[in-house]
Structure 1
Amino acid sequence: MQRTNYSSGAKWEDIIGYSRAVRVGNTIEVTGTVAVDGNGQVVGLNNPYEQTKYIYQKVENVLAQAGASLKDVVRCRMFVTDIKQWEAYGKGHAEFFKDIKPCLSMIEVSAFIEPEFLVEIEVSAIIA
């Protein structure tokens, strides 16, 4: 099967050695994504709901580049710094997946690379 890597252009991809997404056959894996715009600025500072929404917009864009859509998503993994904010993360998630209902994990972690990051999301998609 053919493998295709998709880049966001983030400097970290070459420094660390990863891709924004990888498609092999009809499976697409989207790497952990945070709420950073093209200028390196955090979107939704101190707002877990806004960060979640922005991340899913980024995910939706890379899925489209790979020939998929949110309807192809089968699993989401949300890593969050404050599980007590679960409703805010969940609200952002539901705006994209209320009717699709992929598998979901929400896991509290102690920190991310930048303290402004409140959530990081990974997505798995299978094109039917």
Structure 2
Amino acid sequence: MAHQQQRIISPHVAEYPPGHWSNCIRVGDAIYLSGFTSRGSDLTTIHGVGDAYEQAKVIFTKVKNCLEAAGAKMSDVVNMTIFVTDMAINKEVWRARREFFTGHFPCSTLVQVAALGTPEILVEIQCQAHAGSGA
């Protein structure tokens, strides 16, 4: 049976206008999240400038909010790709991640990139979840 795509919007996460991208799409029990940075609700302010730990906490909070809006939870995340502008900040990103995940951590890839949306953005995250799969 084919499942319809459902765009998930959280009242706690700023959403770009249609024609850019969706933060969260649910298809059946599969949930796809991408483009998460520490941009504020005005989509221009960057929270945690110069601080990868703070940026990662903002991002993980957004992921959590979108998952909850989709009827899922952080423990349902099965795969994650984290983009950083400097591999040296990985310990700060992992520190923030430990505050949001327990038990089985999602499969994860950390990739250093030359740049993200603006020079102030140090971290961007995308992930996939399966609603109801976590502990």
Tell me, yes or no, whether TM beats 0.5.
Answer: yes
Match of 1:10 in 2: 15
Unaligned runs of 5+ in 2: none
Q: 1 CA distance for matches of 2:36 and 2:27?
A: 19
Q: CA deviation at 1:6?
A: 2.1
Q: CA deviation at 1:112?
A: 1.0
- Classify the secondary structure of the residue corresponding to 2:125: strand
Supply the AA of the counterpart residue of 1:111. Answer: A
Match of 1:125 in 2: 129
Distance 1:9 1:56, change over 3 A: closer
Match of 2:39 in 1: 36
1:109 is the counterpart of 2:113: yes
State the percentage of identical aligned residues: 33
1:25 is the counterpart of 2:28: yes
Match of 1:77 in 2: 81
1:90 is the counterpart of 2:94: yes
Between the two proteins, the alignment pairs up a number of residues equal to: 126
- Classify the secondary structure of the residue corresponding to 1:100: coil
- Classify the secondary structure of the residue corresponding to 1:96: coil
Q: CA deviation at 1:121?
A: 0.3
Q: Which moved more, 1:1-10 or 1:87-96?
A: 1-10
What is the TM-score when the length of structure 1 is the normalising length?
A: 0.91
Instruction: Kindly report structure 1 stretches of 4+ aligned residues shifted beyond 3 Å.
Output: 7-11
- Classify the secondary structure of the residue corresponding to 2:81: strand
What is the TM-score when the length of structure 2 is the normalising length?
A: 0.87
Structure whose residues are more often helix by fraction: 1
Unaligned runs of 5+ in 1: none
Q: How large is the Cα RMSD of the aligned pairs?
A: 1.4
Q: CA deviation at 1:76?
A: 1.1
Q: 2 CA distance for matches of 1:9 and 1:29?
A: 17
Supply the AA of the counterpart residue of 1:32. Answer: G
Q: CA deviation at 1:60?
A: 0.3
